[in-house]
Amino acid sequence: MDELDWEGRKAIVKEVDVDYFTDAESKTDLKVLTVERQDEPSMSGWGEISLTTVTVLFKKVKFFTHENVGSGKVSLPEIEMSTTSFWQEFPLEIYDQINVDREKMGEVLRGMANCLGDIAPLYILCDRKDIGSISNVKAKFSEKPTLYLYDRVPGGVGFSEKIFTMKKEIYKAARYLIKSCACEAGCPSCIGPPPDNNPIRKNLAVILFDYLIDLK
């Protein structure tokens, strides 16, 4: 890219012949603003949120193999958006119940959010890009491990509220997808590529979905 005119929404680029594409690495901060619906037995809710996203890096990703072949820093303004989100909490006792530390929990939650982001659109009938999914090992709102599925449209258009009402079906489908996936330790079709070859992340995701399905 030769020039970026942020205000004018223009990027001046020139054609190059390379074997990779670039992808943005962004950090997203999520804040719950209002609780509109709450289901205490299932520890889930729905309400307004504010999202602050800042892109910090670009990654070079090789065509076909999706290998990471380099990266570079970028400096762009923060983007803020208010929308609506569904959230699913876990109690702090879950750490002892399934015997994991915070780092492992973070990896499992990321995998679960990845999988839910793929599955939910099939149930609420929208495009994959209409919904964003993120996880937080210690949510600002509650300090609990939390999964979020939010509307990617400013103000929200009802997708995440539908997820709130259909969460059990979606959890069952996500559990089935992970269990029946032929990979050993996670892959892009289920919980995302694994940070290592340890199948524990996949097993724990199934255990946590079982836990959510069994809640009242």
Residues of this chain that bind Zn ion (CB under 5 A): 181, 183, 187, 189-190
Q: How far is the CB of 210 from Zn ion (least distance, A)?
A: 18
Q: How far is the CB of 106 from Zn ion (least distance, A)?
A: 19
Q: How far is the CB of 34 from Zn ion (least distance, A)?
A: 36
Q: Which is nearer to Zn ion, 91 or 199 (CB)?
A: 199
Q: Which is nearer to Zn ion, 37 or 128 (CB)?
A: 128
Q: How far is the CB of 64 from Zn ion (least distance, A)?
A: 18
Q: Which is nearer to Zn ion, 183 or 207 (CB)?
A: 183
Q: Which is nearer to Zn ion, 84 or 133 (CB)?
A: 133
Q: Annotate the chain with DSSP letters as a single string.
A: --EEETTTTEEE------SEEEEEEEEEEEEEEEEEEEETTTTEEEEEEEEEEEEEEEEEEETTT--EEEEEE-----EEEEEEEEEEE--TTHHHHHT--HHHHHHHHHHHHHHHHHHHHHHHT--GGGEEEEEESS-TTTSS-EEEEEESSTT--SHHHHHHHHHHHHHHHHHHHHHH---SS--TTTT---SSS-THHHHHHHHHHHHHHH--
